[in-house]
Structure 1
Amino acid sequence: MRAAALESPGSLVLTTRPVPDPGPGEVLLAVEATTICGTDLRIESGAKTRGVTPGVVLGHEIAGRVAALGGALRPGTPAVGAQVGLAPEWVCGSCGPCACGRANVCENMRLFGTTVDGGLADYLLVPAPAVAQCVVAVERETDPALLALAEPLSCCLRAHTRLGIGAGDTVAVLGTGPIGLIHCALAARAGARVIASGRSARLEPSLRFGAAHATAATGAELVAEARRLTGGRGADVVIVAVGAPELAGASLELAAVGARVSYFAGFSAGASATIDPNLVHYRELAVLGSANATHADYAEAVRLLSSGALDLGGLVTHRFALGDVHAAFDAVRRRRGLKAAVLPGTG
């Protein structure tokens, strides 16, 4: 089989490997689609090395089909031929975070595409401990590139659960990349009024994904625009969906009294930001982090996508064969379109 493996930091190589043979409790997937995100770019370029296994096959936003099963399977394991989404992480269940209901930040987490081989390959072997936690069958056959988006969607669902977004809320989404657009879609689906802020080229997509208003304003102009659109109140919810340190402070300026602010995006290692803590104090703001997703979040993401309850199909603007994986990475690096998918079965 073919596999796009990280030979060394900055060197992604399309290699040939034997097709794995599933052992007891294991599942072999034929990969149908893997979408590429900023984390993949950071791993591929060498900017992210912590926790990355040398020679690992990249790709953690994965959709596939059960190709073979090992013995001694858990009850409920999808049958051969079933289309499935694959959550990228599985957890120990016994560390402090797992014990207190925050398995999404497990101290011993294993990750497809980082610590173990991921989805940029013809086949992927799911280890026995990961099967129950990671393999989720669809409700009905789904475009594989769309199904692969269950991973970023699940992370956004985690944040929205914590934020409690509902009808009547005004939600400011800062950043209009694919993650910001998913946040727009979820907030609009919940009945909120969405204000999106981002690059000019991404404003029209944000309107298509549910934003009522979109602006390319930054800094003080962004704060003034948000205040104008909310009658001076500010936003009930602010989501920082891009890792720009200056938005950490701006998000508090945008917030209404009693607002919830989510630092959703990851920031570069060593990044720092200046905020006015009095805004948190006097406006009684709740500032929340959000990282990864739980199994329940991922299962809900698969349900939303495969049932048609949430349509994110417009996010996937570029599709590549596995043999063109370098072109796929280049498209994402150059911000061509919105989201790129690699489809191993297409050549």
Structure 2
Amino acid sequence: MKAAILKAPNEISLEEVANPAPMPGDVVIRVRAATICGTDIRIYRGRKTAGVRYPSVLGHEFAGEVVDAGGHAGLAPGDRVGLCPFIACGHCHLCKTGHENLCTGGSAVGYEIDGAFAEMIRIPAQAVAAGNLRHLPDHMSYEEAALVEPLSCVLNGQNKVGVSSADTVVVLGAGPIGLLHVHLARHRGAKRVIASDPNATRRAAALAAGADAVIDPLAEDALARVREETGGQGADVVICAIGVPALARQATDLAAFSGRISLFAGFSKGEFAEMDVNAIHYRELTVTGAFGLSRRDFDQSFDMIASRQLDLKPMITHSYPLSDISDALAVAESGAAIKVAVRNA
């Protein structure tokens, strides 16, 4: 089969490799669609190295067809499935206390386990037994199913800051993750949703996703605009949806009294940010991180997309065959696309 092999940072090539060799209970899936995540770009460029091995195959947002069901009841060749790509150990303290997304004994499909930028992928028996695979309903496309994983991470992040119908939510960054935050905040009934991004195309996409207002931070004073939009109160929730450390300080400025701040996006190791600790103290701000997803997040997000509560199809703006993986990564990194899909016929 063909697979995009990451040999070192900045070095990826499409090669002919052996088909997956499943162990007992493993399932083999023919990948039909995979979408490119910002984490894929960070690994490709060497900005994320923890757990990354070389050579490896990237790609953790995907769906496809079962080729080898591994003897599992309820699975058969040809079944259309999606996968929760983080495989928690299920036994550690974090797993047992409801924080399986933080499990340090787990493994991630897409670099620790070879991922979906390939014609086929092996799913470990442990993931199948834990319920990480979901059957797709007939009306759910492979591309929509690939978006379940990033939506699951966004759901985890919004649960951490308790987005509700009483909240004005400001999303800093209207890339793919920021737009998912807009979609989900709107779905959760947020009182007002505001997105900030210097890219005009992405601001327009945020409005289409349900934002009430958008801000160009290069052309206007974001703080003044948020105060104007909120009657001088500031935002109940501020979500940093792009990994720019300077936005952490902006988030403390934008937050209202008793506001909640999510440092959602991934940052590179060694990066530091200035935050207004005086504001955090006297305005009683809550600042939290958000990492990854649990199977519960995945199941809830899967059901939201499968039941058409959220229509995320417009987010797929570009698609490429696996043979053009380098072009797909370049477009995803450039910011010219919202979400890029890599397809296998």
Instruction: Return the TM-score normalized by structure 2.
Output: 0.95
Per-residue CA deviation, residues 79-119 of structure 1 (Å, 9 max, x unaligned), is 33221111221011222322221110111121111111100
Task: Identify the residue that residue 285 of structure 2 maps to in structure 1.
Answer: 285
- In the other structure, the counterpart of 1:163 is 161
For residue 108 of structure 1, what is the aligned residue in structure 2? 105
Which residue does 1:124 correspond to in 2? 121
Q: 1:65–1:81: 8 Å Cα contact kept in structure 2? A: yes
Structure 2 gap ranges (5+)? none
Does structure 1 residue 44 correspond to structure 2 residue 51?
Answer: no
CA distance in 2, matches of 1:190, 1:47: 33
C-alpha distance in 2, partners of 1:142/1:273? 41
Distance 1:266 1:114 in 2: 16
The alpha-carbon deviation at position 219 of structure 1 amounts to 10
User: In structure 1, what is the equivalent of residue 137 of structure 2?
Assistant: 139
Q: Does 1:271 align with 2:268?
A: no
Q: What's the counterpart of residue 154 of structure 1?
A: 152
Residue 47 of structure 1: how far off its partner (Å): 2.8
- Within 5 Å, give how 1:299-338 maps onto structure 2: 299-338=299-338
Residue 221 of structure 2 aligns to a residue whose secondary structure is: helix
- Provide the C-alpha distance between the structure 2 equivalents of 1:200 and 1:326, rounded to a whole number of angstroms: 23
Cα deviation for residue 220 of structure 1 reads 8.7
Q: State the superposition RMSD in angstroms.
A: 1.6
Q: Structure 1 residues 276, 45: closer, same or farther in 2, change over 3 A?
A: closer
Percent sequence identity over aligned pairs: 42
191-200 or 139-148: which moved more?
Answer: 139-148
- For 1:213-292, list aligned pairs within 5 A: 213-217=213-217, 221-292=221-292
**Superposition deviation, residue 50 in structure 1:** 2.3
SS in 2 for 1:81: coil
**Gap runs ≥5 in structure 1:** none
* Greater Cα shift, 292-301 or 19-28: 19-28
Check the 8 A contact 2:198/2:218 in 1, yes or no: no
SS in 2 for 1:238: strand
Answering whether residue 67 of structure 2 is matched by residue 70 of structure 1, we say no
SS, match of residue 39 in structure 1? helix
CA distance in 1, matches of 2:28, 2:64: 10
CA distance in 1, matches of 2:131, 2:290: 20
1:4 corresponds to: 4
Give 1:190's aligned residue: 188
Letter in 2 for 1:97: L
1:133, distance to aligned residue in structure 2 (A): 4.1
Q: Tell me which moved more, 214-223 or 163-172.
A: 214-223
Q: Quick one: distance in 2 between partners of 1:218 and 1:273?
A: 20
The 8 Å contact of residues 7 and 54 in structure 2, kept in 1 or not, is answered as yes
Shift of 1:16: 1.1
Segment drifting more, 114-123 vs 13-22: 13-22
- 1:317, 1:340 within 8 Å by CA — same for their partners in 2? yes
Confirm or deny: 8 A CA contact 2:48 2:268 kept in the other structure: no
Cα deviation, 1:157-178, whole Å, max 9, x if unaligned, reads 1112222212231100111100
Counterparts of 1:268 and 1:9, CA distance in 2:
14
Q: Given the superposition, is the C-alpha separation of residues 47 and 154 from structure 1 closer, same or farther in structure 2, using an over 3 Å criterion?
A: same
- Partner SS state of residue 310, structure 1: coil
Residue 227 of structure 1 deviates from its aligned partner by 0.6
SS at match of 2:301: helix
Q: Given that residues 328 and 342 in structure 1 are in contact (C-alpha distance below 8 angstroms), is that contact kept between their aligned partners in structure 2?
A: yes
Match of 2:170 in 1: 172
Say which is worse superposed, 179-188 or 156-165, in terms of deviation. Answer: 156-165
TM-score (norm 1): 0.94
Which secondary structure state, in structure 1, belongs to the residue aligned with residue 258 of structure 2?
strand
- When residues 137 and 320 of structure 1 are mapped into structure 2, their CA distance, relative to the original with a 3 A threshold, is same
* Separation of aligned partners in 1, 2:302 and 2:67: 19
